[in-house]
Structure 1
């Protein structure tokens, strides 16, 4: 056997062409895909940068159209019955809302001018601050949109839905969001930093671990939710203005999930990786929007709505008036609202901080600067 093995050595397949490689089989070298990949990535980046440059124009068109509607309504053509309080917006109503849209349109027009990117540091910061101020005012004016969402999703809950008022508030909030995005895009284009993501050199990157302040914020949000439940328990659950039925059950379930499960999910590992007791998904990564988007939306709605309500309560009480007189079937002691409204605000603000930490914890680093 030894001579036979020596006479017929084992063939060497090291130089054999790979049959799965069509380029080698055809005798032609396989091109390196890296340049094409970089070229495609560069084109996508350039397209995204151009889209961000057009964003102020889109926001300008939106705010100008909505401002024209506000002028028409303020001149005596506003419909009635747009919300529980009569008007569709809060904080800025009537001609004040039209003036706010006009100011936002002027600011967006300035952001859309190409020379705005070449302004000096002080004018650039002033323009950005004005844009953010207009964005916050527009979003705050549509605070009643939170009730519209609840009334539309749960029609049998007892929260009346106002279709025309809801559309107006949605348009106002959308204008505020577009204005804020335009301000952020302008800041990223003009400040020194990474050309790809716009972050400054040395900026904080993704969090390696969830910080202690995020845990505190999340559990303060849980405390706010439980305080709200305790306040209702003191006055009696039978005195709730909400109707019964399946809608009430769904609302209470969502209430507890949003107040007792979602905030911890923003800071604990089960909000990033499915836990073991989920049989089909355990060990897999939780989709980022599944946790971040509800956390951001709920915290934003609670903070804006109940923040404005608390300011209104303070204003009414300073002028010697009861912020919530017994009318419209709402007959609850004033002390209940002085506990429930700050509890809602604590819930929203705490979850907003926890959502910010979750966003940084799960953020994909920029391929250029690593931040």
Structure 2
């Protein structure tokens, strides 16, 4: 990890120096006229300096040895810097899609390099943060759990924060649904633009039905036991493990998409004044989608932990304990 840490320090330094140059001499021409939805100029310089400091502290700490508390502090510092870098570089996937479907250009190449470098630097910080957390918690080398503190089986109850995330997602969905219902009753949905695009009523109903499932059944499945083990009413499937990524993959994809699009881009555009309209409908739409996405991500984190494969060392220990008990009874 020390070599990777040194590489990350160099990466953050290069990213910061380029943005320092742009801050002093003026930025190049970006796609859509901006590198990020957030203020540029000195902001990325400060972010990269914090990220470089976090990575450098990890390199120095690995040579001197740190306490568990020290590893926790460095994990938090690098996680924060990594998240901020990734959020600042949010336009990276947008630039990729633009290049794939519209072709290249100088502004797109510059945007791709700038946002891609920021996203990569953020991921480097997150990887380092995860490693520092592992050093602090000293998990099992076989399964990554901290035995006695981490769930061992799918049938264990989800923590309270997972239920809070699931019901936060449902609340956000209901807020968005209330706006749909209002628009439907008042004849504003489907809109004239939707009709002009040739969208059939059947397609819109199917889309709405899928959205309802994603706003109700999906968050419940992420938090409740029946989302990890098939419930009794499914007969032959009762008690069998639900395919992990059938639920988790959808939860992460929808949660990340809603949080990124509405929670980052939508709220930023609203603050900048790019979105206009009555306050309450915008709040229900953007706020509802954001809470929906955040709740799904929180519940998905719990689902990810609860559905990890069983620890082979624990299984071996239980088997040996059973064998010893049988031998003892035989005597």
TM range (shorter): 0.5 to 0.7
Which whole-Å CA distance do the structure 2 matches of 1:277 and 1:361 have between them?
A: 22
| RMSD over equivalenced CA pairs, Å | 4.5
Tell me the alpha carbon deviations over residues 171-195 of structure 1, each in whole angstroms, 9 at most, x when there is no partner: 4233222211211202312544545
Partner secondary structure for residue 266 of structure 1? helix
Over 3 Å counting, the alpha-carbon distance change for 1:115 and 1:163 in structure 2 is closer
The corresponding residue for 1:360 is 305
1:341 and 2:305 are equivalent in the alignment? no
1:303 and 2:262 are equivalent in the alignment? no
- 1:294 CA displacement: 3.7
Over 3 Å counting, the alpha-carbon distance change for 1:168 and 1:70 in structure 2 is same
Q: What are the ranges of 5 or more consecutive residues in structure 1 without an aligned counterpart?
A: 1-51, 157-161, 317-322
The corresponding residue for 2:165 is 217
- 1:275 CA displacement: 9.1
1:96 and 2:48 are equivalent in the alignment? no
TM-score w.r.t. the length of structure 2 is 0.67
Please identify, of 119-128 and 134-143, the stretch whose mean Cα deviation from structure 2 is larger.
119-128
Which whole-Å CA distance do the structure 1 matches of 2:27 and 2:305 have between them?
A: 44
TM-score w.r.t. the length of structure 1 is 0.61
Count of equivalent residues: 296
The corresponding residue for 1:4 is none
The corresponding residue for 2:245 is 289
1:206 and 2:152 are equivalent in the alignment? yes
Which whole-Å CA distance do the structure 2 matches of 1:114 and 1:225 have between them?
A: 45
Partner secondary structure for residue 31 of structure 2? coil
The corresponding residue for 2:31 is 82
The corresponding residue for 2:329 is none
Partner secondary structure for residue 312 of structure 2? coil
1:119 and 2:66 are equivalent in the alignment? yes
Over 3 Å counting, the alpha-carbon distance change for 1:290 and 1:172 in structure 2 is farther
Partner secondary structure for residue 94 of structure 1? coil
- 1:127 CA displacement: 2.6
- 1:118 CA displacement: 0.6
CA radius of gyration, larger in: 1
Over 3 Å counting, the alpha-carbon distance change for 1:122 and 1:357 in structure 2 is closer
Which whole-Å CA distance do the structure 1 matches of 2:174 and 2:97 have between them?
A: 23
Matches for 1:166-315 after TM superposition, within 5 Å: 168-196=114-142, 199-200=145-146, 202-207=148-153, 208-211=155-158, 213=160, 214-215=162-163, 217-235=165-183, 236-237=188-189, 238=191, 244=197, 252=207, 258-260=214-216, 262-267=218-223, 271-272=227-228, 286-303=242-259, 306-308=262-264
- 1:305 CA displacement: 5.3
- 1:243 CA displacement: 8.8
1:131 and 2:78 are equivalent in the alignment? yes
Please identify, of 191-200 and 361-370, the stretch whose mean Cα deviation from structure 2 is larger.
191-200
Matched-pair contact (CA < 8 Å) for 1:90–1:140 = no
Which whole-Å CA distance do the structure 1 matches of 2:86 and 2:194 have between them?
A: 27
Over 3 Å counting, the alpha-carbon distance change for 1:239 and 1:70 in structure 2 is farther
Tell me the alpha carbon deviations over residues 7-45 of structure 1, each in whole angstroms, 9 at most, x when there is no partner: xxxxxxxxxxxxxxxxxxxxxxxxxxxxxxxxxxxxxxx
Match of 1:107 among 43, 48, 54: 54
Which whole-Å CA distance do the structure 1 matches of 2:258 and 2:88 have between them?
A: 14
Report which structure shows greater RCO (CA 8 Å, sep ≥6): 2
- 1:114 CA displacement: 6.4
- 1:337 CA displacement: 1.2
- 1:292 CA displacement: 2.0
Tell me the alpha carbon deviations over residues 167-218 of structure 1, each in whole angstroms, 9 at most, x when there is no partner: 6434423322221121120231254454555654532223523438445533
Which whole-Å CA distance do the structure 2 matches of 1:229 and 1:240 have between them?
A: 20
The corresponding residue for 2:320 is none
Tell me the alpha carbon deviations over residues 253-285 of structure 1, each in whole angstroms, 9 at most, x when there is no partner: 77556445533442456754689999xx99975
